[in-house]
Structure 1
Amino acid sequence: MSELISLRQMKIGQHGKIARVEACGEVNQRIRDMGLIPGAKVSVVGRAPLKDPVALRLSGVTISLRNREADHITVEIADHA
């Protein structure tokens, strides 16, 4: 069983697979240019003190993403219960 959540809702240390990206225009292009595409595995490695931006690990690279951009990304989280 798996759970779909917004990338913004992921907790530090949590892993998942991108299910969909629902952005338009430049935001969509920026997100996809960073490799955040459906099927990509992603994990949250940290957050700034005010929770924005979020640091993500993707394909061995750490990237930073603002919450307003993370809201456009839905991630499938594996149920570990």
Structure 2
Amino acid sequence: MNSALPLSQMPVGHKARVVTLMLDGFSRRRILDMGLIPGTVVEVLRRSPLGDPTAYRIRGSVIGLRKEEASRIIVENQ
């Protein structure tokens, strides 16, 4: 069984499936509008030199998320 962890803890090059979003308000709406809903597969592409933000591939698009937001997106290893 795969264990759930925050997206911010996934290593570069790995894929994960979104389990739940622990966000509300504007942040939640923005993440949902990007297509990041439960069941979506996310690939960690690269981190900036200082570690924040991180680039992710979501539904064919590359987006950058700050660690604060990514830590509130719970995923399972793919």
Q: TM tier, shorter chain?
A: over 0.9
| Structural RMSD (CA) | 0.8
| Residue 35 of structure 1: how far off its partner (Å) | 1.1
Identity of aligned residues (%): 42
Structure 1: distance between partners of 2:56 and 2:33: 15
| Residue 71 of structure 1: how far off its partner (Å) | 1.3
Question: What is the aligned partner in structure 2 of residue 74 from structure 1?
Answer: 74
* 1:10-30 Cα distance to aligned partner (Å, 9 max, x none): 110011100000101011111
Structure 2: distance between partners of 1:18 and 1:27: 16
Structure 1: distance between partners of 2:68 and 2:44: 16
Structure 2: distance between partners of 1:58 and 1:24: 20
Q: TM-score, normalised by structure 1?
A: 0.91
SS in 2 for 1:51: coil
Structure 1 spans left out of the alignment, 5+ residues: none
Question: What is the aligned partner in structure 2 of residue 21 from structure 1?
Answer: 21
When the two structures are aligned, how many residues end up with a matched partner? 78
Q: Are 2:10 and 1:35 aligned?
A: no
SS in 1 for 2:3: strand
Structure 2 spans left out of the alignment, 5+ residues: none
Q: Are 2:59 and 1:62 aligned?
A: no
List structure 1 segments (4+ residues) > 4 angstroms apart after TM superposition: none
Structure 1: distance between partners of 2:74 and 2:42: 11
Structure 1: distance between partners of 2:61 and 2:12: 16
Counterpart mapping for 1:7-18 below 5 A: 7-18=7-18
Question: What is the aligned partner in structure 1 of residue 4 from structure 2?
Answer: 4
| Residue 34 of structure 1: how far off its partner (Å) | 1.1
